[in-house]
Chain A
Amino acid sequence: MAYMIVADQCTGCCACEPECPNKAISAHKSIFVIDPDKCTECVGHHDEPQCVAVCPIDDTCIIDETWPREEAA
Protein backbone atom coordinates (compact mmCIF):
# COMPACT_ATOMS: atom_id res chain seq x y z
CA MET A 1 0.00 0.00 0.00
CA ALA A 2 2.58 2.48 -0.89
CA TYR A 3 4.57 4.45 -3.39
CA MET A 4 8.32 4.80 -3.28
CA ILE A 5 10.87 7.20 -4.74
CA VAL A 6 13.65 5.81 -6.91
CA ALA A 7 16.66 7.24 -5.14
CA ASP A 8 19.03 7.69 -8.04
CA GLN A 9 16.35 9.44 -10.11
CA CYS A 10 15.19 11.94 -7.50
CA THR A 11 16.56 15.45 -8.05
CA GLY A 12 15.68 16.55 -4.53
CA CYS A 13 13.55 19.36 -5.94
CA CYS A 14 11.06 18.95 -3.04
CA ALA A 15 7.99 19.51 -5.24
CA CYS A 16 6.32 16.36 -3.92
CA GLU A 17 6.82 16.99 -0.20
CA PRO A 18 4.15 19.67 0.42
CA GLU A 19 1.63 17.97 -1.89
CA CYS A 20 1.35 14.72 0.04
CA PRO A 21 -1.96 14.67 1.93
CA ASN A 22 -0.51 12.29 4.51
CA LYS A 23 2.83 13.98 5.15
CA ALA A 24 4.45 10.74 4.08
CA ILE A 25 7.30 12.42 2.20
CA SER A 26 10.38 13.83 3.87
CA ALA A 27 13.91 14.87 3.03
CA HIS A 28 16.66 12.34 3.50
CA LYS A 29 20.08 13.90 2.81
CA SER A 30 19.75 15.50 -0.62
CA ILE A 31 16.79 13.43 -1.84
CA PHE A 32 13.28 12.61 -0.68
CA VAL A 33 11.76 9.40 0.64
CA ILE A 34 8.23 8.10 1.24
CA ASP A 35 7.27 6.52 4.52
CA PRO A 36 5.29 3.43 3.39
CA ASP A 37 3.41 3.33 6.68
CA LYS A 38 1.90 6.73 5.99
CA CYS A 39 1.36 6.56 2.22
CA THR A 40 -2.21 5.68 1.22
CA GLU A 41 -1.59 6.11 -2.54
CA CYS A 42 -3.70 9.25 -2.06
CA VAL A 43 -6.86 7.12 -2.04
CA GLY A 44 -9.67 9.09 -0.46
CA HIS A 45 -7.85 12.37 -0.98
CA HIS A 46 -7.19 12.80 -4.68
CA ASP A 47 -7.86 11.06 -7.97
CA GLU A 48 -4.20 10.55 -8.67
CA PRO A 49 -1.16 10.10 -6.47
CA GLN A 50 0.12 13.63 -5.95
CA CYS A 51 3.79 12.74 -5.86
CA VAL A 52 3.50 11.10 -9.28
CA ALA A 53 1.52 14.03 -10.68
CA VAL A 54 4.01 16.69 -9.62
CA CYS A 55 7.35 14.92 -9.99
CA PRO A 56 9.34 16.30 -12.92
CA ILE A 57 11.22 13.08 -13.57
CA ASP A 58 9.21 10.24 -15.15
CA ASP A 59 9.14 6.91 -13.33
CA THR A 60 10.62 8.29 -10.14
CA CYS A 61 7.59 7.97 -7.83
CA ILE A 62 6.54 4.36 -8.44
CA ILE A 63 4.57 1.63 -6.73
CA ASP A 64 6.50 -0.14 -4.04
CA GLU A 65 5.93 -3.78 -5.01
CA THR A 66 6.90 -4.98 -1.58
CA TRP A 67 3.72 -3.55 -0.09
CA PRO A 68 0.17 -4.78 -0.73
CA ARG A 69 -1.86 -2.47 -3.00
CA GLU A 70 -4.35 -0.02 -1.54
CA GLU A 71 -8.01 -0.85 -2.21
CA ALA A 72 -9.99 1.98 -3.79
CA ALA A 73 -12.59 3.13 -1.27
Chain B
Amino acid sequence: MQDLSLHILDIAENSINANATEVRIKISEDTGKNLLRIEISDNGRGMDEETLKEVYDPFFTTKCKRTGLGIPLLAQSARECNGDLTIKTGPGKGTSISAAFQYDHIDRKPLGDICETMIVLIASNPDVDFIYEHSRDDDSYALNTADIKKELEGVPITSPGIIKIIKDDISEWLLNKDDMIK
Protein backbone atom coordinates (compact mmCIF):
# COMPACT_ATOMS: atom_id res chain seq x y z
CA MET B 1 0.00 0.00 0.00
CA GLN B 2 1.43 3.32 -1.05
CA ASP B 3 -0.38 5.56 1.37
CA LEU B 4 -2.58 5.60 4.45
CA SER B 5 -5.78 6.42 2.58
CA LEU B 6 -5.50 3.05 0.82
CA HIS B 7 -4.99 1.30 4.16
CA ILE B 8 -8.09 3.09 5.47
CA LEU B 9 -10.11 1.89 2.49
CA ASP B 10 -8.87 -1.65 3.05
CA ILE B 11 -9.72 -1.68 6.75
CA ALA B 12 -13.12 -0.08 6.12
CA GLU B 13 -13.87 -2.72 3.48
CA ASN B 14 -13.36 -5.34 6.20
CA SER B 15 -15.98 -3.54 8.30
CA ILE B 16 -18.41 -3.66 5.40
CA ASN B 17 -17.70 -7.34 4.83
CA ALA B 18 -18.44 -7.87 8.54
CA ASN B 19 -21.94 -6.46 7.91
CA ALA B 20 -21.37 -3.15 9.65
CA THR B 21 -24.12 -0.58 9.20
CA GLU B 22 -21.99 2.20 10.61
CA VAL B 23 -18.31 2.83 9.95
CA ARG B 24 -16.46 5.64 11.66
CA ILE B 25 -13.16 6.89 10.27
CA LYS B 26 -11.29 9.22 12.52
CA ILE B 27 -8.01 10.89 11.64
CA SER B 28 -6.20 13.05 14.18
CA GLU B 29 -3.11 14.98 13.22
CA ASP B 30 -1.50 16.39 16.34
CA THR B 31 1.65 18.23 15.41
CA GLY B 32 2.21 19.35 19.00
CA LYS B 33 2.41 15.75 20.21
CA ASN B 34 4.00 14.74 16.90
CA LEU B 35 1.33 12.08 16.55
CA LEU B 36 -0.93 10.88 13.80
CA ARG B 37 -3.74 8.57 14.78
CA ILE B 38 -6.11 6.73 12.49
CA GLU B 39 -9.08 4.94 13.95
CA ILE B 40 -11.61 2.85 12.07
CA SER B 41 -14.53 1.57 14.11
CA ASP B 42 -17.57 -0.37 13.09
CA ASN B 43 -20.66 -2.04 14.53
CA GLY B 44 -20.13 -5.21 12.51
CA ARG B 45 -20.01 -8.76 13.72
CA GLY B 46 -16.68 -8.42 15.52
CA MET B 47 -13.93 -11.03 15.77
CA ASP B 48 -13.54 -14.02 18.02
CA GLU B 49 -10.23 -15.04 19.66
CA GLU B 50 -9.36 -17.39 16.83
CA THR B 51 -9.80 -14.80 14.07
CA LEU B 52 -7.95 -12.20 16.09
CA LYS B 53 -4.97 -14.52 16.40
CA GLU B 54 -4.95 -15.04 12.65
CA VAL B 55 -5.10 -11.33 12.02
CA TYR B 56 -2.00 -10.74 14.14
CA ASP B 57 -0.07 -13.56 12.49
CA PRO B 58 1.91 -12.20 9.54
CA PHE B 59 2.20 -15.67 8.05
CA PHE B 60 -1.45 -16.44 8.08
CA THR B 61 -3.01 -15.95 4.68
CA THR B 62 -6.47 -16.74 3.46
CA LYS B 63 -7.17 -16.38 -0.23
CA CYS B 64 -4.71 -13.65 -0.95
CA LYS B 65 -1.24 -15.05 -1.16
CA ARG B 66 0.15 -12.09 -2.98
CA THR B 67 -0.31 -9.13 -0.69
CA GLY B 68 -1.13 -10.79 2.61
CA LEU B 69 -3.66 -9.56 5.07
CA GLY B 70 -4.71 -5.97 5.39
CA ILE B 71 -4.45 -5.53 9.15
CA PRO B 72 -0.86 -6.85 9.49
CA LEU B 73 0.14 -4.58 6.62
CA LEU B 74 -1.18 -1.53 8.44
CA ALA B 75 0.42 -2.70 11.70
CA GLN B 76 3.75 -2.95 9.89
CA SER B 77 3.35 0.56 8.41
CA ALA B 78 2.71 1.90 11.91
CA ARG B 79 5.63 0.08 13.49
CA GLU B 80 7.99 1.33 10.79
CA CYS B 81 7.56 4.81 12.21
CA ASN B 82 7.58 4.26 15.96
CA GLY B 83 3.86 3.64 16.09
CA ASP B 84 1.64 0.73 16.84
CA LEU B 85 -1.71 -0.80 16.09
CA THR B 86 -4.36 -1.88 18.54
CA ILE B 87 -7.56 -3.80 17.96
CA LYS B 88 -10.62 -3.75 20.19
CA THR B 89 -13.13 -6.35 19.16
CA GLY B 90 -15.37 -9.16 20.30
CA PRO B 91 -18.17 -11.24 18.82
CA GLY B 92 -21.22 -8.98 18.56
CA LYS B 93 -19.26 -6.01 19.87
CA GLY B 94 -18.04 -4.45 16.65
CA THR B 95 -14.43 -3.72 15.90
CA SER B 96 -12.21 -0.74 16.43
CA ILE B 97 -8.76 -0.57 14.90
CA SER B 98 -6.45 2.21 15.88
CA ALA B 99 -3.07 2.91 14.31
CA ALA B 100 -0.63 5.49 15.68
CA PHE B 101 2.31 6.99 13.81
CA GLN B 102 5.12 9.38 14.66
CA TYR B 103 3.87 12.33 12.65
CA ASP B 104 7.17 13.54 11.25
CA HIS B 105 8.89 10.19 10.91
CA ILE B 106 10.74 9.98 7.62
CA ASP B 107 9.19 6.60 6.82
CA ARG B 108 5.65 7.62 7.70
CA LYS B 109 3.45 7.05 4.67
CA PRO B 110 1.58 10.12 3.45
CA LEU B 111 -2.14 10.33 4.11
CA GLY B 112 -2.81 10.17 0.39
CA ASP B 113 -6.15 10.87 -1.20
CA ILE B 114 -8.57 10.63 1.73
CA CYS B 115 -11.30 12.19 -0.38
CA GLU B 116 -11.12 9.46 -3.00
CA THR B 117 -11.26 6.80 -0.28
CA MET B 118 -14.35 8.38 1.31
CA ILE B 119 -16.14 8.84 -2.01
CA VAL B 120 -15.49 5.26 -3.10
CA LEU B 121 -16.83 3.99 0.24
CA ILE B 122 -19.91 6.22 0.22
CA ALA B 123 -20.79 5.68 -3.44
CA SER B 124 -20.58 1.92 -3.32
CA ASN B 125 -22.24 1.35 0.05
CA PRO B 126 -25.39 3.49 0.20
CA ASP B 127 -26.81 1.40 3.05
CA VAL B 128 -23.84 1.98 5.34
CA ASP B 129 -23.56 5.15 7.40
CA PHE B 130 -20.10 6.67 7.26
CA ILE B 131 -18.79 9.11 9.79
CA TYR B 132 -15.60 10.86 8.79
CA GLU B 133 -13.91 12.97 11.41
CA HIS B 134 -10.60 14.61 10.71
CA SER B 135 -8.70 17.05 12.85
CA ARG B 136 -5.42 18.83 12.45
CA ASP B 137 -4.46 20.50 15.71
CA ASP B 138 -7.32 22.93 16.44
CA ASP B 139 -9.02 22.69 13.07
CA SER B 140 -11.52 19.93 12.46
CA TYR B 141 -14.03 18.53 10.02
CA ALA B 142 -16.89 16.07 10.34
CA LEU B 143 -19.20 14.44 7.88
CA ASN B 144 -21.95 11.98 8.71
CA THR B 145 -23.75 10.38 5.80
CA ALA B 146 -26.65 9.38 8.08
CA ASP B 147 -27.47 13.10 8.50
CA ILE B 148 -27.15 13.66 4.77
CA LYS B 149 -29.42 10.73 3.96
CA LYS B 150 -32.07 12.08 6.32
CA GLU B 151 -32.13 15.33 4.38
CA LEU B 152 -32.31 13.55 1.04
CA GLU B 153 -35.68 11.96 1.78
CA GLY B 154 -35.25 8.90 -0.38
CA VAL B 155 -33.10 10.37 -3.14
CA PRO B 156 -30.13 8.00 -3.21
CA ILE B 157 -26.90 9.32 -1.75
CA THR B 158 -25.20 7.64 -4.71
CA SER B 159 -26.77 10.09 -7.19
CA PRO B 160 -23.91 11.71 -9.11
CA GLY B 161 -25.06 15.19 -8.06
CA ILE B 162 -24.99 14.32 -4.36
CA ILE B 163 -21.67 12.53 -4.63
CA LYS B 164 -20.17 15.59 -6.27
CA ILE B 165 -21.32 17.88 -3.44
CA ILE B 166 -19.84 15.57 -0.81
CA LYS B 167 -16.62 15.31 -2.81
CA ASP B 168 -16.30 19.09 -3.11
CA ASP B 169 -16.97 19.51 0.59
CA ILE B 170 -14.27 17.05 1.65
CA SER B 171 -11.78 18.38 -0.91
CA GLU B 172 -12.27 21.92 0.33
CA TRP B 173 -11.52 20.86 3.89
CA LEU B 174 -8.41 18.93 2.85
CA LEU B 175 -7.11 21.84 0.77
CA ASN B 176 -7.65 24.36 3.55
CA LYS B 177 -6.07 22.08 6.07
CA ASP B 178 -2.92 21.74 4.04
CA ASP B 179 -2.81 25.47 3.26
CA MET B 180 -2.34 26.10 6.92
CA ILE B 181 0.89 24.13 7.07
CA LYS B 182 3.63 26.67 7.36
A and B from one assembly? no
B residues in contact (CB < 8 Å) with A: none
